[in-house]
Amino acid sequence: MKFQQAELYQRIQAFSLDEIDAYFPLSKRLARDNRWSANYTQRVIDEYKKFAFLAVVAGHLVTPSEQIDQVWHMHLIYTQSYWGEFCPKVLQMQLHHSPTRGGSDEDRTFKGWYNKTLASYKYFFGYTPPADIWPPTQIRFGRDLHVVRVNTQQNWIIPKPSLELVYKLSLKRKSILVLLCLLGLKVTGCEPLLSQNIKNQFNFSGLKFFTFYILIAIAIISFAYTLRGSGGYSGG
């Protein structure tokens, strides 16, 4: 880094996105809206600052990851902090947010800028950006484009099953998963697919009903434990 670049980086690092006396500062709002942990939120804010640095010094247009874009959106809402302090006094330039206008040409353009941003990150900081905040291009412009705001007071959030998690399971855990699936077929009344001579448990009453639905609860807890132990994503 050149001297002026080092000075800029120090100014950015010293700048706080949170107001000192705020009861509900930007970082807490960001964590709540994205369901991120406090630690992960701080990491994304740190990466946002690096992104802002690259926007000034990289020599080309830059594109953020979806996570960093969420910080940028939030910071823009705090207009006094962003336009009154951060841009004129810290970056000493205006950093505008320019979303895509849509279309295949724009898609290729933004993908190219994102790849250049990742390359410049490694050039200036000397290491590869963290993948849980700066994902590969195919994820950044694939899965991550489907992020939407959800009212958790009105809706449940249930993650879709991922085959990637199954591939990561050990042989022992895969065996447990198969047994749980078979148990699920039995206790949910789908066992006629396996045998025509077993009764539908939804027609049970009394102790039999209670027993089978205790088994369902055990199966769900065991399944959740199995997936948790598979080393899935835990950044957010």
pLDDT tens sequence across 144-158: 666 777 777 677 777
More confident site: 147 or 185:
147
For residue 85, pLDDT beyond 90: yes
181 and 206 Cβ atoms separated by less than 8 Å: no
Q: Looking at residue 10, what is its pLDDT?
A: 97
Domain boundaries, the chain: 3-146, 163-228
Q: pLDDT confidence of 164, banded at 50, 70, 90?
A: low
pTM for the structure as a whole = 0.67
Place of tokens 């195919």: 138
Dihedral sign from CA coordinates of 122, 125, 30, 70 = negative
Q: H/E element holding 14?
A: helix 3-14
Per this entry, what is the length of the chain? 236
More confident site: 49 or 232:
49
